[in-house]
């Protein structure tokens, strides 16, 4: 395990270049398996989640070559093997191999996926989609065996606009016979990125980015080149940081439209922003105003920015309420923030109150999940004194080059092996 050590209280300025989206890349890599030829994906973030997916591809016998942010994947000779639990447990997104292998081989055997401890993280909507397409799902001691004589297009309504279920059903439907319509589909930018990748291979998908996605089955998917969309959650995390201690911090290589809900919130909080075509420049105002946050599916305020935003709200004047509507256990960072001097309180497992501004002091704290870790990095940079964040490997899962990117804007931050 690693730990991150920060000497806080420094003003940050300069440019932070955003990488490819983790939540898109972790879907694109398994989706590549659907292709009968080699595909190339650019702007892939160099994060441990991608390494784990690499392991699965190699286990299946795919030929994978990675250099810098490019990954070439040739799945023409892969075998349909059981994916070992030790690998699939490493990340939630391993479940995209369910849709991809079911589509390619009409059979997949996989263990329940892993992922951050932010909630129960069921996959019932994924399995409902596979069954609607004609698959049979058996659950043998946490190992799913999903088989289909044939996959036929179907009309599938999602009880909840689930990102994972939308993408997984899309993967399973792309070579099914006939037409599939997913209604109440998720609309996140990564859904569009995956649909575009599949269409570049020759799939026939329309409506991605709206709540109704139509997939007309095709027989063959061919080689193509594709690019991962910029990571709007990484971008939002650094925008939140700049809003507290930034001076002309430019967050670049982004699509501002993907951050509309955050931009609107930061305006309410009193943060002036210069918004360009592919960058946003922020200098922290003298005073941050308290506000209320309610997480919602895209394009609402993203749940993945709720924990980083909690740290900002400890510095805002007044009382803020956070209402987390997506995950039932996504406030684990608040205890750690309180250790550093914040005044926060859980009102229920979906509601918390934060009163500010409070002076934060460097402490030894623990990351409990990826975005909780990001919240603590921001707190460590804002606090005076030294902060040590244990379990920093959570953070490395989703923030490419975070130590270098922050060092480049003046932070005193380093990564060390931890003997905890």
What is the binding site for ligand EPZ (CB under 6 A)? Answer: 22-23, 26, 92-93, 116, 118-119, 121-126, 160, 162-165, 186, 303-304, 326-327, 370-371, 398
Q: Which is nearer to ligand EPZ, 160 or 225 (CB)?
A: 160
Tell me if 95 sits within 8 A of 164, measured CB to CB: yes
Backbone φ and ψ of 230, nearest 5°: -60, 150
Tokens of 91: 């990340």
3 state SS of 106: coil
Determine the Cα angle at 184 with ends 182 and 186, to 5°. 90
Please identify, using beta-carbon distances, which residue of 5 and 171 lies nearer to ligand EPZ.
171
Q: How far is the CB of 235 from ligand EPZ (least distance, A)?
A: 13
Minimum distance from residue 14 beta carbon to ligand EPZ (Å) = 25
For the residues of 360-406, what is the DSSP string, one character each?
-B--EEE--SHHHHHHHHHHHHHSBSEEEEE-THHHHTT-TTHHHHH
- 22: DSSP letter: H
Angle at 49 between CA 262 and CA 206, to 5 degrees: 60
Residue 390 CB, shortest distance to ligand EPZ, in Å, is 19
Nearest residue to ligand EPZ on Cβ basis: 164
Q: Which residues pair with 413 in a beta bridge?
A: 6
Q: Is the peptide bond before 357 cis (omega within 30 degrees of 0)?
A: yes
User: Shortest approach of ligand EPZ to residue 212 CB, angstroms?
Assistant: 17
> Which of 90, 92 has the CB closer to ligand EPZ?
92
First-to-last CA distance in the chain?
8
- Positions annotated as catalytic residues are 116
Nearest to 197 by CA among 217, 167, 219, 169: 167
User: In this structure, what token pair is assigned to residue 356?
Assistant: 């500010």
Taking the complex as a whole, the smallest distance from the CB of residue 373 to ligand EPZ amounts, in Å, to 10
Judged by CB, which is closer to ligand EPZ: 226, or 363?
226
Q: Three-state SS for 418? A: coil
Question: For residues 53 and 78, which CB has a smaller minimum distance to ligand EPZ in the complex?
Answer: 53
By beta-carbon proximity to ligand EPZ, the closer residue of 256 and 398 is 398
Write down the least CB distance from residue 142 to ligand EPZ, Å. Answer: 15
Tallying the residues shown for the chain, one arrives at: 420
Token readout for 15 is: 């440019």
């Amino acid at each position: 395990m690693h730990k991150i050590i920060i000497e806080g209280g420094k003003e940050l300025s300069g440019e932070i270049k955003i990488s490819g989206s983790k939540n898109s890349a972790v879907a694109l890599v398994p989706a590549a398996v659907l292709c009968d030829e080699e595909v190339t994906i650019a702007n892939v973030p160099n994060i441990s989640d991608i390494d784990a997916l690499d392991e699965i591809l190699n286990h299946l016998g795919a030929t994978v070559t990675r250099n810098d942010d490019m990954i070439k994947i040739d799945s023409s000779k892969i075998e349909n093997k059981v994916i070992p639990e030790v690998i699939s447990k490493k990340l939630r997104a391993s479940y995209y191999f369910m849709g991809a292998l079911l589509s390619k081989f009409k059979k997949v055997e996989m263990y329940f996926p892993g992922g951050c401890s932010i909630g129960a993280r069921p996959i019932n909507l994924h399995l409902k989609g596979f069954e609607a397409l004609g698959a049979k799902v058996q659950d043998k001691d946490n190992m799913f065996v999903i088989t289909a004589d044939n996959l036929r297009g179907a009309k599938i309504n999602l009880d909840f606009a689930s990102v994972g279920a939308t993408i997984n059903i899309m993967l399973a439907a792309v070579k099914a016979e006939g037409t599939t319509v997913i209604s109440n589909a998720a609309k996140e930018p990564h859904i569009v990125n995956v649909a575009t990748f599949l269409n570049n291979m020759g799939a026939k998908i329309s409506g991605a980015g709206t709540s109704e996605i139509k997939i007309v089955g095709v027989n063959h998917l061919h080689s193509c080149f594709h690019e991962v969309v910029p990571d709007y959650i990484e971008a939002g995390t650094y925008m939140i940081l700049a809003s507290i201690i930034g001076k002309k911090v430019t967050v670049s290589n982004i699509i501002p439209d993907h951050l509309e809900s955050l931009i609107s919130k930061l305006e309410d909080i009193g943060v002036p922003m210069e918004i360009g075509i592919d960058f946003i420049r922020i200098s922290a105002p003298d005073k941050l105003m308290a506000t209320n946050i309610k997480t919602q599916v895209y394009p609402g305020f993203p749940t993945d920015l709720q924990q980083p935003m909690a740290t900002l709200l400890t510095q805002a004047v007044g009382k803020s309420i956070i209402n987390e509507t997506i995950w039932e256990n996504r406030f684990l960072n608040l205890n750690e923030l309180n250790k550093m001097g914040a005044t926060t309180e859980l009102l229920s497992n979906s509601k918390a109150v934060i009163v500010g501004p409070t002076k934060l002091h460097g402490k030894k704290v623990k990351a409990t999940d990826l975005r909780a870790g990001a919240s603590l990095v921001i707190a460590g940079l804002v606090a005076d004194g030294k902060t040590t964040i244990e379990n920093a490997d959570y953070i490395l899962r989703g923030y490419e080059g975070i130590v270098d990117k922050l060092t480049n804007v003046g932070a005193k931050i380093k990564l060390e092996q931890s003997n905890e």
